[in-house]
Amino acid sequence: MVQELLLLFLLDNDGWYYNMSTIINADTSGGLKLTSDTSGQLELQSAGSTKVTMDTSGNVGIEKDTLLSFYPADQSYANIKFEWDTGDAGYLHSTAFNGMKWTTNGSERMRIDSSGNLKFNSGYGSVATAYGCRAWVNFNGTGTVAIRDSGNVSSITDSGVGIYLVNFTTNMPDINYSVSLVSGSNMNNTTLHNTLVLTSSYRIHNLNDAGSYADASLIMSQVVR
Amino acid sequence: MRIVYKTEEGGVAVIIPADTIEACMKDIPTGAEYYIVEDSEVPSDRTFRDAWTWE
């Protein structure tokens, strides 16, 4: 066993240098190298580079760009991996065939299956695929037409009295999505133009009780796909 | 800001951005003549909305 003095220093609050860790280094030339101090902090190194640190509170840190993997007993593959990329994005990988499950209080609450479907319970009664609201908008179609708030909507187009287009920020994958519409007037009938449902937009018609186009001060719409 | 463009039917359509003008430039129909205007340049009185034209 080789003992080696490593010069690892940090500044403390008073500006003094102090040794920071006990180090276990799997060195590529000298084999196992140990550096001991009384800091109470432990570092695991590979070829002199710290990969894992346990501080004095027992917190364990994995260095950026170091992959943390959990292997099954036969070591055949890593079925869960935690990783950072160089862009500081974090990844949680699962290579298990059944996807990933989240449980609380002994019951499954959420799952991403092997096809990428997000499933959750959240009061539904079972863990089932959640179909997302892909776009929504709440706007005033009278006076100075204005969007109150929206999601995945780049704009609305005022095309005339009672006629509005909702334009998507990110297009739908096809035109088989479902649209819900409602206006704030119980005298209005808000409908969808059946040939102008596109991947990039859809067209709303708002009619009054006489069947004529009419503006509405409150129109709300959601897209589910 | 608003984007105003002439429709094929001879009328005027007004694009109201949810966020930035730049993000909704894609919502202008291909080949349409368009103008970027201040909000105040678009009439708030819509009584004759379907008769609007752009000069």
Please tell me if residue B46 touches chain A, with a CB cutoff of 8 Å.
Answer: yes
Q: What is the pLDDT of residues A80-136, one digit of tens each?
A: 778 776 677 778 887 766 788 899 999 999 999 988 899 999 999 999 999 999 999
Chain A residue closest to B50 (CA)?
A160
Q: For residue A105, give how far its alpha carbon lies from the nearest alpha carbon of chain B (Å).
A: 42
Please tell me if residue B17 touches chain A, with a CB cutoff of 8 Å.
Answer: yes
Q: Which position has the token pair 């509005």? A: A164
B42/A144 CB distance under 8 A = yes
Q: Which residue has the higher pLDDT, B3 or A20?
A: B3
pLDDT at A3: 41
- The average pLDDT across A183-212 equals 88
pLDDT at A212: 92
Structure tokens at A137: 């908008």
Burial code of A21-42, b = ≥16 C-beta within 10 A, e = fewer? Answer: bbbebeeeeeeebebeeeeebb
Please tell me if residue A143 touches chain B, with a CB cutoff of 8 Å.
Answer: yes
Cβ neighbours for A41, distance < 8 A, ≥ 6 positions apart: A20, A21, A22, A53, A54, A55, A56
A150/B18 CB distance under 8 A = yes
pLDDT band at B43 (very low <50, low <70, confident <90, very high): very high
Q: What is the pLDDT of residues A45-72, one digit of tens each?
A: 998 899 999 999 999 988 877 777 777 7
Chain A residue closest to B9 (CA)?
A159
Of A150, A157, A161, the CB nearest to B14: A157
Q: What is the pLDDT of residues B1-27, one digit of tens each?
A: 999 999 988 899 999 999 999 999 999
Neighbours of A115 (CB within 10 A): 7
How far from chain centre, in Å, is Cα A61?
22
- Does position A75 have pLDDT exceeding 90, yes or no? no
Structure tokens at A217: 């001060």
Rounded to whole angstroms, the Cα distance separating A16 from A10 reads 8
Please tell me if residue A169 touches chain B, with a CB cutoff of 8 Å.
Answer: yes
Give the gyration radius of chain A's Cα atoms.
29
Rounded to whole angstroms, the Cα distance separating A32 from A46 reads 10
Chain B residue closest to A150 (CA)?
B18
pLDDT at A68: 77
Please tell me if residue B15 touches chain A, with a CB cutoff of 8 Å.
Answer: yes
pLDDT at A90: 79
Phi, psi of A30 (to 5 degrees): -105, 0
A157: exposed, middle or buried (Cβ count in 10 Å: 0-12, 13-18, 19+): buried
- Does position A16 have pLDDT exceeding 50, yes or no? no
Please tell me if residue A156 touches chain B, with a CB cutoff of 8 Å.
Answer: yes
pLDDT band at B54 (very low <50, low <70, confident <90, very high): confident
Among residues A77, A45, A78, A81, the alpha carbon closest in space to that of A63 is found at: A45
pLDDT at A78: 67
pLDDT band at A18 (very low <50, low <70, confident <90, very high): very low
Structure ipTM = 0.95
pLDDT at A20: 79
Strand ranges inside A48-152, DSSP E? 49-54, 60-62, 68-70, 80-84, 90-94, 100-104, 107-112, 118-120, 128-129, 133-140, 146-151
Rounded to whole angstroms, what are the CA distances from A213 to A36, A204, B6, B16?
82, 11, 20, 20
B44/A153 CB distance under 8 A = no
Which residues from B are below 8 Å from A165, CB to CB?
13, 27
Rounded to whole angstroms, the Cα distance separating B11 from A167 reads 19
- Name the helix (H) or strand (E) containing B25: none
Q: Which position has the token pair 């449902």? A: A197
Q: For residue A130, give how far its alpha carbon lies from the nearest alpha carbon of chain B (Å).
A: 26
Rounded to whole angstroms, the Cα distance separating A129 from A115 reads 11
Q: Which residue has the higher pLDDT, A15 or A170?
A: A170
Q: What share of chain A is helix, strand, coil (3-state, %, to 5)?
A: 0, 55, 45
pLDDT at A10: 46
Q: What is the pLDDT of residues A21-50, one digit of tens each?
A: 999 999 999 899 999 999 999 999 998 899
pLDDT at A117: 92
Structure tokens at A90: 């974090």
- Does position A1 have pLDDT exceeding 70, yes or no? no
Chain A residue closest to B24 (CA)?
A154
Chain B residue closest to A159 (CA)?
B13
DSSP-derived letter for residue A15 is S
pLDDT at A5: 40
B46/A139 CB distance under 8 A = no
pLDDT at B48: 95
